[in-house]
Amino acid sequence: MAQRRHGGAALQHIPLATPGFKGLNTEMASGLLGPEWATELVNATVDGNNRLAGRKGWEDITTTPNTDALVSGFEYFQADGTTELLFATDNATIVRSTDEGVSFSDVTGTAVFTDGNWQWLNFADRAIGIQDGKQPIVYTGTSFSHISDTSNEPTGGAGTVFGGRLWIADTDGSTLKYCALLDETDWSGADTGSWALQNVWKGTDTIQAVASHNGNLVVFGKRNIIIMTDGTGSVLGIDPTQASVIDVISGVGCIARDSVQNIEGDIWFLSESGLMSLGRLIQERSNPLQNLSMNVRSSLMEDVNSNTFDTADIRSVYSPKDRFYLLSLPEASGTTEIGKVWAFDTRGLMEDGSARCLGTWSGLVPTVLVRRDGNQILAANLDNEGELFEYSTYNDDLSSYTFQYRSGWTDLGAPGVKKMLKRFSGVFFSDSDITISYKWAFDFDTAFNTRQKTFTGGTSGAAWDVALWGTAVWGGGDSTLREGKVVPAGSGEYIKWGIDALIDGTEFSLQQLELFAKLGRLG
């Protein structure tokens, strides 16, 4: 760090390029952390230049809301190439939208159920709904009904489509059944069968989720993961008559069915220890401490284990376009509690094996998350009953929201020395006018000092030397370079800083921060 003389005392220059680029770390928030970490992040994502940025907003795309709240849903694909959005509601009805979520219409049917929390699957031109304790339902594009086999059909709450079959847990939680090839109505013929996983679990366990991965079938219990394959290279992916267990990972499993997402050749899921990677588990051989959320594990699991949340209501989504994984912990129906959304970057794991945590998102906490075939992300929640939102703009339903970043505590490499802040500057990118709040605090004080600056119009790169700071190196696409400083006040041995940016139809990225502090002896 460069030093200058200022009134007879050393003036420490602290450049902070791409501050917080490793994401949120709440496990070490009470100690000293380098500037690459954040101890608070709200409404953050990562832009194409690997900088912390403000997330996009949720735009209401519904003109005629549904009467009841949407609690589960997906995009249904038909054989002719058309799609529609299918949802179950909190009033035990099923509705669809054939106009991209603008309006909804009721779907008629004969199935009887009381809960809208279904797992939805596309299967051979039909939509299948799975719910614990209920006979699966089938939707053919006009109406829905229970599947016709009434003697041996599974009634568990988790399943998947793989190898041209449905694989669904039975009501005992330890038996996995499979239907006849391309026939969801046949569960008792010669081409059907079941596997008793109680013979494979280590201890007692129950099926929480089922998925496919790298040509294998993966069954998640709460404390075990079973991986099966047929080993014959079947063109359908798996031949049940030739299948065998190739791996059992004990001591870790899945606690929320809808947390499971296939992500770039891996599977991410929520366990009792935090957010996990199946690929990393296979490599590490069931070491639950080495998980994707290790840097925020305590905070994340405190939210997951809150009495406000039911793990059956947890939702998730993966966006290949924006390269994030969202985990939604929605408030329970009928409560006034506020839920949480946790965000994780999927661009690649860090050197410690964790995923970069992007913190939490305020505002809409989805009870439905849908990624459509074109990478459009849709969401619904209980507060905006019967409406759909698209992740697209920089407003939340026409309202602003705030990007928040806080560093960890640091002594700037000079322990036992008093620091008096003399200047606090920043380099930002934004595509329109924006208001920035500079924050700082001393010596573990929870109250921050604040100076606010509003940027209007463009900012010339000449202030930073075009050759170094011009858009050729630091460019933000269509965004404009914003550079500004404030004169702070106060002193202490330890310093913490932060930035708040009001997102109101405005793209925002945080590029660079700089501190200038006068060093002196402690009194």
**Nearest one of 194, 209, 260, 249 to 226, comparing CA atoms:** 249
Residue 175 lies in a domain: no
CA torsion sign for 458, 404, 355, 426 is positive
| CA–CA distance, 58 with 73 (Å, rounded to integer) | 18
- In this prediction, residue 16 has a pLDDT band, given cuts at 50, 70 and 90, of confident
> For the chain, how big is the Rg over CA atoms in Å?
26
Higher pLDDT, 290 or 45: 45
Other Cβ atoms within 10 Å of 156 Cβ, number: 26
**Nearest one of 82, 83, 140 to 109, comparing CA atoms:** 140
| CA–CA distance, 311 with 359 (Å, rounded to integer) | 20
The residue segments making up the domain with residue 11 are: 3-56+404-521
CA torsion sign for 294, 287, 322, 59 is negative
For the record, the structure tokens of 65 come out as: 């809301």
Q: Residue 206, SS3? A: coil
Task: Give the pLDDT confidence score for residue 234 in this predicted structure.
Answer: 73
Task: Give the pLDDT confidence score for residue 286 in this predicted structure.
Answer: 57
Residue 415 lies in a domain: yes
Higher pLDDT, 9 or 385: 385
In the chain, what's the furthest Cα-to-Cα distance? 91
Task: Give the pLDDT confidence score for residue 19 in this predicted structure.
Answer: 93
> H/E element holding 251?
none
Give strand ranges (E) for 134-174: 137-139, 143-146, 159-162, 165-169
Assess whether pLDDT exceeds 80 at residue 193.
yes
| 347 neighbors 274 (Cβ within 8 angstroms) | no
Assess whether pLDDT exceeds 70 at residue 151.
yes
Residue 499 lies in a domain: yes
Residue 472 lies in a domain: yes
Give start and end residues of each alpha helix (H) in 180-274.
Answer: none
State the CATH number of the domain containing residue 491. Answer: 2.60.120
371-427 pLDDT per residue, tens: 999 899 999 998 888 999 999 999 999 899 999 999 999 888 888 888 899 999 999
Task: Give the pLDDT confidence score for residue 417 in this predicted structure.
Answer: 87
- For range 247-270, the mean pLDDT: 94
| CA–CA distance, 393 with 391 (Å, rounded to integer) | 7
Assess whether pLDDT exceeds 90 at residue 3.
no
Query: Given 3-state DSSP classes, what are the helix, strand and coil percentages for the chain, each rounded to the nearest 5?
Result: 5, 45, 50
Task: Give the pLDDT confidence score for residue 6 in this predicted structure.
Answer: 46
84-130 pLDDT per residue, tens: 999 999 999 999 999 999 999 999 999 888 889 999 999 999 999 99
Q: What is the number of domains present in the chain?
A: 1
Q: Residue 207, SS3? A: strand
DSSP-assigned letter for residue 106: E
Assess whether pLDDT exceeds 60 at residue 473.
no
DSSP assignments along 121-142, one per residue: EEETTEEEEE-TTS--EEE-SS
| % of the chain residues with pLDDT over 70 | 90
Task: Give the pLDDT confidence score for residue 464 in this predicted structure.
Answer: 39
Higher pLDDT, 75 or 464: 75
Residue 385 lies in a domain: no
- For range 230-240, the mean pLDDT: 79
| CA–CA distance, 91 with 68 (Å, rounded to integer) | 6
Q: At which residue do the structure tokens 């998350």 appear?
A: 369
Task: Give the pLDDT confidence score for residue 471 in this predicted structure.
Answer: 37
Task: Give the pLDDT confidence score for residue 470 in this predicted structure.
Answer: 39
Task: Give the pLDDT confidence score for residue 214 in this predicted structure.
Answer: 86
| CA–CA distance, 412 with 399 (Å, rounded to integer) | 38
CA atoms lying within 13 Å on the CB side of residue 263: 30
- For range 142-160, the mean pLDDT: 90
DSSP assignments along 447-505, one per residue: SPEEEEEEE-S---GGGG-HHHHSHHHH--TT-EEEEEEE----EESSEEEEEEEEESS
- For range 57-75, the mean pLDDT: 96
Residue 176 lies in a domain: no
- CB-based contacts of 434, cutoff 8 Å, min separation 6: 428, 454, 455, 482, 501, 502, 504, 506, 508
**Nearest one of 278, 403, 275 to 344, comparing CA atoms:** 275
Task: Give the pLDDT confidence score for residue 298 in this predicted structure.
Answer: 95
Task: Give the pLDDT confidence score for residue 220 in this predicted structure.
Answer: 97
**Nearest one of 411, 412, 448 to 14, comparing CA atoms:** 412
φ/ψ (deg, to 5) at 280: -70, -35
- In this prediction, residue 344 has a pLDDT band, given cuts at 50, 70 and 90, of very high
Using CA atoms in the order 67, 69, 71, 77, what is the torsion angle rounded to 10 degrees? 40
Q: Mean pLDDT across the chain, nearest whole number?
A: 89
* Sheet of 377-380, strand order: 58-60, 389-391, 377-380, 368-371
| 100 neighbors 111 (Cβ within 8 angstroms) | no
Assess whether pLDDT exceeds 60 at residue 334.
no
**Rounded to 5°, angle at Cα 67 from 63 and 70:** 85
Residue 516 lies in a domain: yes
Q: How far is CA 411 from CA 3, 9, 155, 465, 494, in A?
A: 15, 17, 59, 30, 5
Q: Integer distance in angstroms from the first to the last C-alpha of the chain?
A: 24
Residue 438 lies in a domain: yes
